[in-house]
Every structure is written in structure tokens, then in C-alpha cells.
Structure 1
């Protein structure tokens, strides 16, 4: 039997990445730069906020200049942008955008990102009559024209109060696309739409389950459609919708054994909550106080992605009749748990583990967040991490995740 060793190592040099990040961070809202968070088949899945508008750019550059004593070296010696300046735009705004967005593009190219998934329902975020953020899809100078832009508008965290008020039921919950601030259409390249067997013209009639499923299928397709190109996912600030889809991507790929293959369900739970959500700024206490429970929706939604349609494995599979947990799980994981040597048999085995692993994850998550006291438990560190969520949310209502 021939074993194929699959090892993917990032070619990114840390010092080079640090330099590019430091010089490009002003380009995006709140300074939340493009950050690689998942390495899949040698390509980077990244996250960030959307592009900063002129108000934030001038505010941050002025602030940095004042508090650096007049010596602001944010962009370093190499301050000229990689993207040529628009001849028709000679004002200061355009020159500043050329500089900072040129550096942002340089970072994207260094990480081999080709696809940019924009989850904003607006073209530009407007507050008090001012454009406080922008996005790649409305960049007037077309600086991001060399990237494949996926404009997939998705409801913000406020919408998830309706989800909570409906007893955590996403089926039948449809976003109101007729609101004044919603002006970003769904725009997907034909090369993607023709391969997914989805009628994208009906996106405004999808409920929250259909919309999330179809967007996840699109993201999985994008990272499997090219051997080299990476993906960037962002919303506005990058701490609600962005972690939702990054977490779902990570868990789906993990269930396939494509990433973090050595991690147990409780360990992948710890990783995605601590890293994808909390480390990147998800404000859980604030969201809970407002009933905007997008965090709970993420994990409750796992029951909707256990079919092979959400598998990154390209080989056709026969799942058999794996529908529930069994004593066979321990035997299976001993054989393939952290496998990096994949045979055809192992690929088939991973396909069987897809629904099985997600069920184990749901069981682990359910038992963890079901804790009602702050007393220490055998689950150790993860119980402490989730205790706030357990007290604030628990498993309420009739629509439980088990």
C-alpha cells in the first residue's frame, strides 16, 4: 500500500510579515490588519476588518504623528505604494489612499490571497452622515481589481436578537433587505456560481439557515478551486460575522481531518472560541446584554452542516449509516487521529468521521456550556473560558443543540 505524506508549510517569513503588517494596518478599520488564521493545503485563510474611510485614516495618522513626537514611521522607508497612482486624482485624499491601500494590497499578495469575501450589507458604513468605512468593492480607483471579490451581504449582529426572540430558531427567519442602509448587492463571479447548483438570484428570500449554508459552501468552494490562492474574510469591524464564518470554516475542515487533525472535540472547541472569537475582539458580554447571540448561533448551526455537501474532501464518498455516537469512535480515532499519511482508505474513513466528529463536538459543547455554577469541573481550562457564556446563555428554550 502506497502512503502519501501530506505536509503543508507556510512560506511566510515572520519578520517580513511583521513589517508588512506594521505598515499596512492603517488601511483597515480600527487598524485590524489582514491576518492569516488557518493554513489549509498550503494556502492562507485570512481575516480582517473592512477598509478604513478618509475620516479614520486622517484621524489615526494625525494621532500617531502627534504621539510619536512628529516622527511617525508607520510606513517605513518604502512608502511608495505598489499600485500606481490614479492620474486623474491629485488631491491629498487619493494620495493617502494610494499609499495605505497599496501597502494593504502588498500584504494580501505576500499571503497569496486572491479571493476577498465581503460580508457587509452596505457599500460603505455611514454614521452621523459620514462614511466611516469603505470596502474593496467600491474603491473608486479600482485598486483591488486584480482580486476576485465576493460580495455576499450577511446580516449583522443586531439581526440575531430576532434569532433569540424566536427561541433560537433560525428556520424561517429572513432578513429585511428593504432597509435604507442596505445597498450592497450579492455579487459572485460566474466561475463560482455555475459549479454550486445554487440559485443565487433568490438570496433575499433565503432564511438564516439557507443563507449561512450557501455562503459556507461558497467559501469552501473558493479555497478548493485553486491550488495556490488564499482567502480573506471580513465584515465591518471583524468581530461578529467574520468569526462566525472563520469558525465554521475551521470546524468543517477539522471534521474532515484537513486541519488540526490531532485535536479532540473539547480542544478544537477551546481553540475556535478562544482564538477565532475572543482573541479577535468579540464582545460577548455586550452582545448578551442586547440579546444579539450570533456566538450561540455559530455552534447551534453545526447541526446544519453535517452532510457531505460541506466536506472539503473531493473524493466521492459512501457515508454508510453513521448517525450517532458509538464505542467505535475511540477505535477509529486511534487509527487516524492525527494522521498526516492519507491513503484512499483513510480518505474514506475521514468522510465517515465528518458527521461523527461534529456530533462529538456538539456533545462536548452541550455538556460544557450546560454548567450552571462556577465551581471547577473536570473539563479544566475550557470550563473557565466558557463559564461566562454558560451563565449568560446556558441552554435555554426548546431549541437545544443536542
Structure 2
């Protein structure tokens, strides 16, 4: 199943083709086509370079309509040469039929039937993705629909052991516990089958409410405490709508702040005390972080859980196709840069794999997001410049150059597809449209405070409060900043404009070309002698970002030129010409 690391599976044409298709069509498993099948084949070939894996069929979307037709379960990593060893002759580590059956049984437990699915393997631990838990209307609606079309027979045989162990006396205010127990019990069994013990919830809400009805729930507010055996982390993170502000702010996440005072935001950040302390991050001030800082710190936290934990991790938001692929993709790329995953893939190959598998085949609707200006997809790859330092590495290295790593990342001139600061300034001064979003952009005082620790009696069943810090019964610390206490400057508009016109570091003349860099990073993780150990991660991530910017400018860039009302087309054309990605006749190269 393995391939030689020297055999390139994808090239630049492949990257252009998949991005072009992705930007026009949202993937649906039942709408199979030869083109999509080609994407899937390439993904399997890329997985095969580094892993022994099994495939679970979802050909017509019978498990989930927006999951890949071929679901890949990674079992173990091959050697760094990409060749199979003695373990190739060992039977699969999983009973694939049983695993598929468990996925089928548990799918109604989660929103849009997007059940828990392992997507990354690192040090024998699965990193999984899913949607959040379904609410009552969806559980009853989907199960009833399934019952009707199955001729009155349940497609999910009842598991008496699970049903009995989770059943409790129904509360006086609810009679829905039997069906909830059944499906959430199967969901828990699937998590345990995959050895997942930590759940990271990116929702801003405790429950998603539409028209006054709770349409989804989450593990952290399950009133029957079915998920009490798991380590539950609440990591509220802005939804895809906020990335319209990212676009309107010149595609710049620095000094771009989410408005936490909105009524629908009711989830507080909650992290186990031991984990919060070990990360060395002052989580108390999370609402004062800009988009770059909150993404950096959440990624550091996820990497810490992967490195120091002894079991798998689940990451999800609401539907699992915007914020979830953002962090799954960043995790895959970060681990690749450290040679902890996909070690035999080149920069172009890992870029193709994460676009195809993490984004397209798991249902991200890029066409819709581009139309609304919610550029969470672009943000993901542009953000790579903010995680090049060894602070995000799982490999222990010398810290002697860490202080300058961020400055180096910011000062290097690379082929960027979007706004330069001068053009951004002109655009913003000429239009107020970027400041009229429903989600306000605010500047928050980020005065630091000491790292908070709290030691409580674990046997306590009640929450104890200390100001705006809450110690929960499971040992987690919940940080709650009252909405009324969030500081805003008198003019948020002025803050944004000043941010867009602040001085920029001069690009270094010693920057190597992408072709030169490709020679030393396109193969496996063997480290050439002339590349310092601490710079390999940076060079690998820079190569991915540059490759992405190149294809994005040629495939997506021209579409901005067709939007004269936004003023973005001329800006992009000017910038792309400056960095040499556009030929003399207006052709992108």
C-alpha cells in the first residue's frame, strides 16, 4: 500500500483543478462523479505514502451525506522511507465492519449525522472531528424519517447493554431520555472504541438556538452527564460570519477583535486546571485576544493535548465544516512540518491532501463562503506564517532563536494574494462598508494578569466562584468575563485604520526562492546539513503557504476582479503583479 517517496502523486495542475472545483461546487457524497473519485484516489495514494489504513465505504452518503465516500481510518505509520515493514502482513487493527456499524448507529447523535471520525494519527493517537450533539428536534426528526423509509424497522439494532447502563429515571420536566440515551450511548461507545478521552468544543453557545428552539446541544451541557467520563474543554471561537470582518479588515487578523458581548454568546472558556497551568498561557484574558492570538493559543493547547496526552482528541464546532476543518487542517500541517505526520509528503502533496480531505470532502461550502466574504478557508493557510516558531513544535529543540522567529516570519516577502497595506488604507478611507458588519470589531485592553491556578476538593459537587473564575466539579477552570466589563475604545474605526497603516518590516534580501526551498523540503524529513534544525519547520510551512497563495491567486483571484463594488479586484491585481505572480498579458502564472 505504500509508495516510494520520490513518486510525486500531485503537481501544480492538480492543485489548480481541485481548488477550481472546490470553489464552484459543495461536495455531496451521493453526487459522485469521476472528478471527485479522482480526488479520492489521490488522497488514498497520499495516505498510503506514510500509513497503513483501512477504508470505510460511504459511497452514496448512507452514513453521512457530506463525508467522504471513502472514509480513511489510519492504523499505524510506516517507515520514513515509505516502505512497508513486517507489520504489513498483520491483520487490520480494527474490525472495520464493527466500526462502520458503530458509526451507523451513532450518527443520529450528532448534528447533520456528522459522527465522530478519526482523521489524523500522531504517535498512535487519533485526532477526530465531528459536529456537535443533536438536539431533540433533530434526533426525533431524523430517526423518525429513517424509521419511515426503512419500512417500520429500525436500521440501528438496539444495544441493550448501552441502553441499560445509560438509562436513568426521567426527570419530571422531560420524557426524552430513552431516545437520547440510545443514540448518545452509541456515540460514547464510538469515542471509546477510538480511545478518545478529550473533547474540544469550539461553539460560542451552550446550545444553538433558532426561532426559540434548541436545535443542537453539546457535551458540556448534557443534563444527564453522559459524558462525565471525558475531559471536556469549552473553547469558544468565532464562527464563519466573523471572517467577513477578517476580509473587510484587509485580510488581516492582527488587532481584529470579536465582540463577545453579543447575546447569543453564552459559552465560557473551560479548561482543566492542570492543563491550563501547564500551557503557561493566561487564559483569563482570552476575550482580549485578537483573531491571531486566540487561534495561536487554541492551536498550542490542542498540540499540548496531543503531545502530553495518552489518548485521542475530538475537535468539533456546530456543524463541523468551518471552524473544525480550520483547526484540523492547521494541526495536520503543523504535525507535518515537525515530521510527526505524513513525513513522506512534499509541500504540494500535503497541501493537496488537506484541501481535498479536510475541507472539500468533509463538506466545507467554499462557494457559499466566498460569496458571503467569509474567508475562513483562506485564513487557514495565510495563518501558517503565525505558527512557524518552535513554540508550536512537538519536537524539543533549542530555544536560542525563538525570540526572533515571529519577526522573521513577518518580515519575509512572499507571494501574497490579498491586500497590501497601502491599498487597504485607501480602500478603507474611501468606504465605510467594512465597518458595518453585524459583528462589531472592537479593541480590548489586553492588560496581563498572573496565570490563574485553583486547587479545589474534587469531591465537591457544586461550583465555587471567585470573581469571574469558576471551579467546576470535574476540576476544570471556567473563565467568564462579564459582557459589561469588556472595554472598548471610543472609536473602533480609528483603531482599525491605524492597524492597517502601521509600519511594516523591510523584507530580507536573503530570502530564498520557492524553487530553492522546494529542493530541500519537497521530499521526506531527512534534514540536509545546510538547513539549521530550528528553521526546517519554518521553511516547510512557508513553502506550503507560498504554494497555496500561488494557486489561490490564479484560481480565486480573478473572481475578485469581477466585484467592482468591493474595490478588491484592483488591489489584488496590483499586489499580485508586484510579487511576480502575474504575467505581462494579465495571465496568472
User: Taking structure 1 as the reference length, what is the TM-score of the superposition?
Assistant: 0.85
Q: Answer yes or no: is 1:107 the counterpart of 2:190.
A: yes
Distance 1:148 1:67, change over 3 A: same
> What's 1:283 paired with?
365
1:123 aligned to which of 198, 206, 212:
206
1: CA distance between counterparts of 2:398 and 2:175? 55
Residues 194-205 of structure 1 mapped to structure 2, 5 A cutoff: 194-205=277-288
Is 1:360 equivalent to 2:537 in the alignment? no
Deviation at 1:293? 0.8
In the alignment, structure 1 residue 260 sits paired with structure 2 residue 312:
no
Q: Pairwise mapping of residues 324-363 of structure 1 onto structure 2 (< 5 A)?
A: 324-325=511-512, 329=517, 332-333=520-521, 337=524, 351-363=534-546
The change in CA–CA distance for 1:330 and 1:204 in structure 2 (over 3 A counts) is closer
- From the superposition, tell whether residues 165 and 73 of structure 1 become closer, same or farther in structure 2 (CA, over 3 Å): same
Deviation at 1:312, TM superposition (A): 1.4
Shift of 1:280: 0.9
Aligned-residue offset at 1:289: 1.1
Cα separation, partners in 2 of 1:77 and 1:114, compared to 1, 3 Å: closer
* 1:245-324 → structure 2 map (5 Å cutoff): 245-316=327-398, 324=511
CA distance in structure 1 between the partners assigned to 2:378 and 2:177 by the alignment: 41
SS at match of 1:362: helix
1:31 equivalent in alignment to 2:214: no
Counterpart Cα distance in 1 of 2:190 and 2:243: 33
Whether contact under 8 Å (1:44, 1:230) holds in the other structure is yes
**Residues in 2 aligned to 1:359 and 1:82: alpha-carbon distance in whole angstroms:** 53
- Which of 89, 93, 105 pairs up with 2:176? 93
Are the counterparts in 1 of residues 129 and 314 from structure 2 also a CA contact under 8 Å? yes
Distance 1:20 1:51 in 2: 16
The aligned runs of 1:378-393 (5 Å cut-off) are 387=555, 389-392=556-559
**Aligned partner of residue 187 in structure 1, secondary structure:** strand
Q: Tell me the SS of whatever aligns to 1:188.
A: strand
The answer for the alignment partner of 2:5 in structure 1 is none
Match of 2:275 in 1: 192
The separation in 1 between residues aligned to 2:521 and 2:211, in whole angstroms, is 55
Q: Which residue of 2 aligns with 1:13?
A: 95
- The answer on 1:164 being equivalent to 2:247 is yes
SS at match of 1:81: helix
Q: CA deviation at 1:368?
A: 1.3
CA distance 1:13–1:352, change in 2 (3 Å): farther
Tell me the CA shift for residue 333 of structure 1.
4.4
Whole-Å separation in 2 of the counterparts to 1:77 and 1:170: 48
The aligned counterpart of 1:208 is 291
> Per-residue deviation at 1:75?
3.8
Over residues 87-118 of structure 1, what are the superposed CA-to-partner deviations in whole Å (9 max), with x where a residue is unaligned?
35485411111111010000000001111010
Residue in 2 that maps onto 1:381: none
1:148 aligns with 2:335: no
> Matched residue pairs, number?
374
Change (3 A) 1:349 1:290: same
Aligned-partner SS, 2:233: strand
SS at match of 1:9: strand
In 2, the alpha carbon distance for the partners of 1:118 and 1:263 equals 30
Note if contact 1:325-1:360 (Cα within 8 Å) is conserved in structure 2. no
Say whether the 8 Å CA contact 1:79–1:99 is kept in structure 2. Answer: no
Alignment RMSD (CA, Å): 2.8
Separation in 1, partners of 2:551, 2:238: 28
What is the DSSP-based 3-state SS (H/G/I as helix, E as strand, rest coil) of the residue aligned with 2:224? coil
- Contact residue 325 and residue 356 of structure 1 kept, 8 A: no
Q: Is the 8 A contact 2:146 2:155 kept in 1?
A: no
How far did residue 16 of structure 1 move?
A: 2.0
Cα deviations by residue, 1:153-196 (Å, 9 ceiling, x for unpaired): 00000111111111101111111111110000000111111112
The answer to whether the 8 Å contact 1:22/1:75 transfers is no
**What is the rounded CA distance, in whole Å, between the counterparts of 2:328 and 2:135 in structure 1?**
25
Stretches of structure 2 that go unaligned for 5 or more consecutive residues are 1-50, 53-74, 78-92, 409-510, 562-567, 580-589
The 1:110/1:82 distance shift into structure 2, 3 A limit, reads farther
> Kindly tell me: are residues 77 and 85 of structure 1, through their superposed partners in 2, closer, same or farther at Cα, counting changes over 3 Å?
closer
SS at match of 2:252: coil
